[in-house]
Amino acid sequence: MGSPIIIDVRIAAAHEGIAELVVSIAYENGGITEVALDQIATSALMDSCNASSIDDVKGQSWVKVRDALQISYNRYQ
């Protein structure tokens, strides 16, 4: 069984016009989910993927999205 992967990434406006990254993740069973990332999570994802543009994260494992969300959440600890 393969790991879910990032298939699409786009920039969207969030609350009060602040930009966020919306990542589409595809599962082996054909399901797709979208996850919105704030600035901290976006930065963490870009770093973990060694990405210089948002297109560079396509094809990466969903685990990198999970880890980026944890980094963002943990900033409040």
Q: Look at the block and give the residue holding tokens 């919306």.
A: 22
Average pLDDT, the chain: 94
pLDDT computed for residue 77 by the predictor: 85
pLDDT computed for residue 1 by the predictor: 54
20: nearest Cα among 42, 45, 52, 50: 42
pLDDT in tens, 44-68: 999 999 999 999 999 999 999 999 9
Residue that wins the pLDDT comparison between 45 and 14? 45
Rg (CA), the chain: 12
Query: Left if phi > 0, otherwise alpha if psi is -120 to 50, otherwise beta: which for 27?
Result: beta
pLDDT computed for residue 16 by the predictor: 80
Domain hosting residue 40, numbered range = 5-74
Kindly report the backbone phi and psi dihedral angles of residue 4, in degrees, each rounded to the nearest multiple of 5, phi listed first.
Answer: -55, 145
Domain total of the chain:
1
For residue 26, what are the β-bridge partners? 5, 32
